[in-house]
Structure 1
């Protein structure tokens, strides 16, 4: 396993070294001045993050350790990813479930409250627009996350259909959670480390389940999920508290959980056989 992982890490590193800044800029359709920054941008820089353009955002590709070392550390201990470039939103109203079921291939009504599923937004011909993780919080509240690279077209698609749905008497509204940041804590130490920061018994939260709870003194949305092939959580936290939460997670891990960038994210997903949507 290590041989193949080493070759993958070296391949990614060589490709990054060979790609000049203009090529990267062309790929993601944004100049450095146009790139958006998450609230953890300065935190990344302070910890040696190498920032690159990704889906219109300036995101860390790696930190001081190599991509291979970051990948192995996630498997053996844990990783903390800033995924705040992704778009979280809520659908509310008594008809939010039938509305969403017109857009995705999922039995949303059949989900138990506090559970979720991976799904796909489809176009009028049944083709895929984007994948998404959706959670049925209650019968009148759906929480979902869409990919950063597809944000604009996803939101336009939802808004277009929502106008038509409401014009026919449907009761649904939405809120885009731009006031929140999103952290992904992944790896074998994810639950033990996070348990230090909340009174909720995390052992009672199973894969795919969702809770609203206090973590490190902040009201968070917590989903036991991830896209690395490891156990872990995605934590939606008020942006004003995101840096403090990241610091607390790293501190409670005693150095075993490390900040991890897009390079290791890609190698972890590839190793686990999980699709990477750009």
Structure 2
């Protein structure tokens, strides 16, 4: 490669880098504004004359009062409920989805491909289509205002089952045959061979389940009416009043709601790559 070609290549890379930084900054501006607003009094959030000034993104007099007021009211109960519901959904959902994926990948039985096609089709159906009739079924069963109603619909996730099945298909069939020769049953093969080998896929699936439950709004709104059973997104929506609203408190609550899944996603993002890479490995 000649010197001119090298310089052109470097110039192109610099332009790409600058363009990427500019796009990232454009996407980050609303987030920075949200976080900055959570540290300023509510009366000062929309009073800036220049929306792109430094004072808009760096509060001149930062305060933690908004977080104290947000965590001192109904939002704290909703946040605790969301954490409990999301954690239970991840634990139960991983067990159910991994077992379903194991049956659809390792075990041979009639109609397996048809069931898998139905599962794939299920996560293409919008939530709004089934939410109302399903909430009526839960109401008739006396399950409104219960953790069961909040958790059960999110346990069986078609995307997670699809992800886990693709990963299980990459596990060599010889391991199953060797275990069967040693007298192992399907339950032992699932618990002692497939689950230990699928840690990246399990973590990636857990993040998907957590995110789906954490951002749920329509379903919790349909099945909860008591204040002590509301989830955090619902309590955040109730902070917006018809005539007056404490925007500092709203911004603080929104920051907390955004921070928790961001930490989870950033902490486990490498497992998505590992899961996708390993799912393409065949015997």
The answer to whether TM tops 0.5 is no
TM-score normalised per structure 1: 0.27
Higher RCO (Cα < 8 Å, 6 or more apart): 2
TM-score normalised per structure 2: 0.26
Give the structure with the higher percent strand: 1
